[in-house]
């Protein structure tokens, strides 16, 4: 072969391998390392796209459930190579009065950007030190910069003293479904808020979706214009459904929510729900998972559904495969969402690319 052909072939090979190197590949369940070669520690997390980069926020886990450092942040341009941006929201050391002192529990952090204020707002499930999961609060923190440091503002039992919009007057005293006893019990002090997610609708209105009523019911609560408090507009949905780990996507004007059942760290069957309006009636649409281990969500639990920037109808289902004996070894299960008969579905893949 003449040297010119060798050059052309070499060039083609180089071009091909650089394209191949660009290909973003996901290997659900395998150990996932950051760009420093350290295992990514961002559990129960969520991802925000901002100014051309993705930011992944998650729980920094040690062996147990309690927080010793706080909420981590990693950033990436391609969703595969993640740079450790450090601790976005730190626990407060040396202040035994702080709600976020080491030993508290900080779970399922989600961050959204408020265009009006130019601030990043983080909400997370907060449990107070030495009280197990009984406090059932939600915490909020803000930052001027996406990677933090976030400043902790306060925690809430949401909607104290406010009836949900979808409870009829006649049920305020008694009657209705049996889980309303928890609604009434918590009316004055505020509703419970455990597993949670955030969702920003197309018009910029943000919603906080949280497990309430001893985890029997999900509440959807509208956030204020600056996203740091509640507006008093809220509904309770799927009472008695016992849903946790809510993750939501919007497609073609419909809202789809994937949740888990309530079996702690142990996996169970995912549930798909759909509605045409967030404050409207939600319908159960079965298990979105298909194939082997579909009844256990492929041994994982939902945490977030990530819309891929610039790709229409392309979403990644993010879940955690918890390792209860050493939570820091829990694995990330990221799977592509495919639409079958207009509804999201999930299939296991050992390896897949965008
Ligand atoms: C799960 C929940 C996790 C964590 C765990 C504690 O059901 O989704 O975020 O709270 O329970 O047992």
Output DSSP code: residue 227: S
Atom of ligand 1 lying closest to residue 65 CA: 6
CA distance 280 to 300: 29
DSSP one-letter string for 139-191: EEEEESSTT-PPEEEEEE-TTTT---TTS-GGGTTS-SSTTHHHHHHTTTT--
Q: Which atom of ligand 1 is nearest to the CA of 245?
A: 8
Pocket of ligand 1 (CB under 6 A): 44, 107-108, 195, 244-245, 262, 264-265, 301
pLDDT in tens, the chain (354 residues): 455 555 555 555 544 444 445 678 999 999 999 999 999 999 999 999 999 999 999 999 999 999 999 999 999 999 999 999 999 999 999 999 999 999 999 999 999 999 999 999 999 999 999 999 999 999 999 999 999 999 999 999 999 999 999 999 999 999 999 999 999 999 999 999 999 999 999 999 999 999 999 999 999 999 999 999 999 999 999 999 999 999 999 999 999 999 999 999 999 999 999 999 999 999 999 999 999 999 999 999 999 999 999 999 999 999 999 999 999 999 999 999 999 999 999 999 999 999
Indicate the SS3 state at residue 262: coil
Cα–Cα distance measured from residue 319 to residue 94, given in angstroms and rounded to the nearest whole number: 34
CB 335 within 8 A of CB 352: yes
273, 331 Cβ separation under 8 angstroms: no
Cα separation, 255 vs 261, in Å, equals 19
CATH 2.115.10.20 fits 42-353, yes or no: yes
| Residues β-bridged to residue 244 | 260
Sign of CA dihedral 185, 198, 74, 349: positive
For 4-58, the pLDDT digits (tens) are: 555 555 555 544 444 445 678 999 999 999 999 999 999 999 999 999 999 999 9
């Amino acid at each position: 072969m003449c040297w010119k052909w060798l050059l052309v072939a070499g060039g083609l090979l180089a071009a091909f391998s650089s394209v191949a190197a660009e290909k973003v590949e996901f290997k659900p369940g395998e150990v996932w390392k950051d760009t420093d070669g350290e295992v990514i520690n961002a559990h129960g997390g969520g991802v925000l796209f901002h100014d051309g980069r993705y930011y992944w926020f998650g729980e920094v886990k040690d062996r147990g459930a309690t927080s010793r450092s706080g909420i981590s942040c990693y950033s990436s341009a391609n969703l595969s190579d993640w740079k450790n941006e450090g601790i976005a929201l730190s626990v407060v050391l040396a202040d035994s009065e702080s709600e976020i002192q080491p030993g508290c529990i900080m779970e399922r952090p989600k961050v959204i950007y408020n265009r009006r204020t130019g601030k990043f707002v983080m909400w997370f499930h907060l449990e107070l030190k030495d009280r197990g999961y009984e406090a059932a609060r939600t915490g909020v923190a803000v930052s001027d910069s996406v990677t933090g440091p976030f400043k902790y503002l306060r925690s809430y039992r949401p909607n104290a003293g406010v009836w949900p919009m979808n409870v009829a007057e006649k049920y305020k005293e008694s009657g209705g479904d049996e889980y309303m006893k928890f609604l009434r019990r918590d009316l004055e002090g505020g509703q419970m808020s455990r597993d949670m997610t955030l969702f920003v609708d197309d018009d910029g209105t943000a919603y906080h979706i949280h497990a309430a009523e001893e985890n029997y019911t999900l509440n959807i609560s509208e956030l204020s214009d600056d996203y740091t408090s509640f507006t008093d507009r809220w509904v309770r949905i799927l009472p008695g459904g016992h849903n946790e780990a809510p993750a939501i996507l919007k497609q073609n004007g419909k809202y789809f929510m994937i949740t888990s059942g309530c079996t702690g760290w142990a996996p169970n069957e995912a549930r798909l729900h759909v509605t045409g309006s967030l404050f409207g009636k939600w319908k159960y649409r079965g298990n979105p998972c298909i194939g082997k281990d579909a009844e256990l969500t492929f041994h994982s639990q939902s945490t977030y559904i990530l819309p891929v920037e610039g790709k229409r109808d392309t979403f990644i289902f993010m879940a955690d495969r918890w390792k209860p004996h050493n939570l820091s070894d829990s694995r990330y299960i990221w799977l592509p969402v495919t639409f079958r008969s207009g509804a999201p579905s999930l299939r296991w893949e050992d390896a897949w690319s965008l």
